[in-house]
C-alpha cells in the first residue's frame, strides 16, 4: 500500500512516500479500514521531529497520523459493533498511529460511525482536537451552566471545539484569537473575545472557574491570575505545576487524549446535528504530507489540515 513514513527523526523532508508498505494486520479486536482522509495535528510534527521519541519508543519505519476516516473492509473475529462497508472515523491508539496510509488497523473501541452529513475530511479532522476539548471540559472540568471559562487559542482546532462544547454546556466563554479568528470564535458563541495581539488577556478576565490552556509557556504562566480561588487550569500543551496550583489554592490538570469510541460517538452526534462545527483549512494529497507539516510548523495554517487518500488501484 501507499504510505507516508519516516525512517529517521528530523524535519519534514523525512516524510517519504512508500509504494509498497505492508498492509497492517487486523487483530481480533480491530477494524481494517480503507482510509479516505487523515487529519494532520501538531502531535504529528512533534512525533516526526523526535520530540516525543522518549515517550513513544517505536521502531522505524513509522507511519504517522493518529486521526482518520474511511470505510471498514474487514473486522476482527471479536468485533460485533461494526461490519465491512461501515463509514467510520477514529483516533488510532497513540502507540500505533498510521493514518498517513491507504489502510490502517484500529481498535474497534477507538472508532465511531461517521454521520452521513459529515464528509470524510471533516470527520478525520475531529478526533484528536475534539476529544482533547471533551476530555478537558466535559470530563475533567465537568463544566456546568453559568460557569466562566477562558479558552486560549479559540480559533485553533482544540480551542474552537472547546468553545462549542462549553456553550453546549451553558457556560460563559471568554477566548483569545486574532485577525480572521475573531469573527470565527464569535460565530461559535464566545461571549468575550480578546485579540491577543492587542490586549493582555489577564487584564480582561478574572474570577474564571476554568482556564483551558492550548499554548503553554507565558500564556499558561499568566493564566493563573485569571482564576478564582479553587479554580481549575487545564492544559493540552504543557503539564501545569501541581506545586504552583496548590500554593495558589487552585487545581491543575494536563490532558492526555486517548481514543475512545463512546466519546467520538458523542462528538459525532453533536457534529451530525450541527452543534459542533469544524473549520477545514488546507487540504492536501497524501503525497504532499510534507507541505502540510511545513505549513503547520510555520504557524500560518488557518483551519484544520487534512490529507486526502486515494483508494488503491484494483
Binding site for ligand NAP (CB under 6 A): 41-43, 128-129, 132, 152-153, 155-159, 176, 178, 181, 196, 214-215, 219, 236-237, 255-257, 299
Q: For residue 275, how many C-alpha atoms fall within 13 Å in the half-sphere facing its CB? A: 12
Cβ at position 219, least distance to ligand NAP in Å: 6
Cβ at position 312, least distance to ligand NAP in Å: 30
Q: Which residue has its beta carbon closest to ligand NAP?
A: 156
Give the residue with the Cβ less far from ligand NAP, 181 or 261: 181
- Give residue for cell 502531535: 43
Cβ at position 302, least distance to ligand NAP in Å: 6
Cβ at position 142, least distance to ligand NAP in Å: 18
- Give residue for cell 473501541: 109
Q: Determine how many CB atoms are found less than 10 A away from the CB of residue 82.
A: 19
Give the residue with the Cβ less far from ligand NAP, 25 or 218: 218
C-alpha cell recorded at residue 92: 488510532
Query: Are 184 and 160 spatial neighbours (Cβ–Cβ below 8 Å)?
Result: yes
Query: Are 28 and 76 spatial neighbours (Cβ–Cβ below 8 Å)?
Result: yes
C-alpha cell recorded at residue 221: 504562566
Dist CA 7 CA 198 (whole Å): 43
Dist CA 190 CA 178 (whole Å): 13
Give the residue with the Cβ less far from ligand NAP, 60 or 256: 256
C-alpha cell recorded at residue 273: 446535528
Give the residue with the Cβ less far from ligand NAP, 157 or 267: 157
Give the residue with the Cβ less far from ligand NAP, 110 or 237: 237
Cβ at position 131, least distance to ligand NAP in Å: 7
Amino acid at each position: 500500500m501507499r504510505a507516508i513514513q519516516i525512517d529517521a527523526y528530523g524535519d519534514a523532508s523525512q516524510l517519504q512516500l512508500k509504494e509498497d508498505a505492508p498492509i497492517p494486520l487486523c487483530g481480533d479486536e480491530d477494524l481494517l479500514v480503507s482510509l479516505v482522509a487523515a487529519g494532520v495535528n501538531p502531535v504529528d510534527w512533534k512525533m516526526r521531529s523526535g520530540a516525543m521519541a522518549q515517550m513513544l519508543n517505536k521502531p522505524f519505519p513509522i507511519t504517522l497520523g493518529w486521526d482518520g476516516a474511511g470505510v471498514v473492509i474487514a473486522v476482527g473475529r471479536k468485533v460485533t459493533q461494526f461490519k465491512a462497508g461501515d463509514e467510520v472515523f477514529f483516533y488510532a491508539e497513540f502507540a500505533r498511529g498510521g493514518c498517513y496510509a491507504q489502510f490502517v488497523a484500529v481498535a474497534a473501541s477507538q472508532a465511531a460511525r461517521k454521520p452521513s452529513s459529515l464528509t470524510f475530511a471533516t470527520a478525520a479532522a475531529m478526533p484528536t482536537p475534539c476529544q482533547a476539548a471533551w476530555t478537558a471540559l466535559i470530563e475533567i472540568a465537568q463544566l456546568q451552566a453559568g460557569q466562566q471559562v477562558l479558552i486560549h487559542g479559540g480559533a485553533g482546532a482544540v480551542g474552537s471545539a472547546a468553545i462549542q462544547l462549553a456553550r453546549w454546556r451553558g457556560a460563559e466563554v471568554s477566548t483569545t484569537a486574532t485577525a480572521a479568528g475573531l469573527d470565527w470564535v464569535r460565530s461559535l458563541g464566545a461571549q468575550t473575545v480578546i485579540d491577543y495581539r492587542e490586549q493582555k488577556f489577564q487584564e480582561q478576565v478574572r474570577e474564571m472557574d476554568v482556564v483551558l490552556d492550548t499554548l503553554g509557556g507565558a500564556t499558561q504562566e499568566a493564566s493563573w491570575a485569571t482564576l478564582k480561588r479553587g479554580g481549575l487550569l487545564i492544559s493540552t500543551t504543557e503539564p501545569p505545576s501541581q506545586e504552583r496550583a496548590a500554593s495558589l489554592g487552585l487545581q491543575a490538570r494536563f490532558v492526555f487524549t486517548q481514543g475512545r469510541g463512546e466519546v467520538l460517538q458523542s462528538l459525532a452526534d453533536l457534529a451530525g446535528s450541527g452543534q459542533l462545527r469544524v473549520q477545514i483549512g488546507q487540504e492536501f494529497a497524501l503525497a504532499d504530507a510534507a507541505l502540510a507539516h511545513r505549513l503547520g510548523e510555520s504557524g500560518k495554517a488557518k483551519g484544520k489540515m487534512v490529507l486526502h487518500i486515494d483508494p488503491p488501484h484494483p
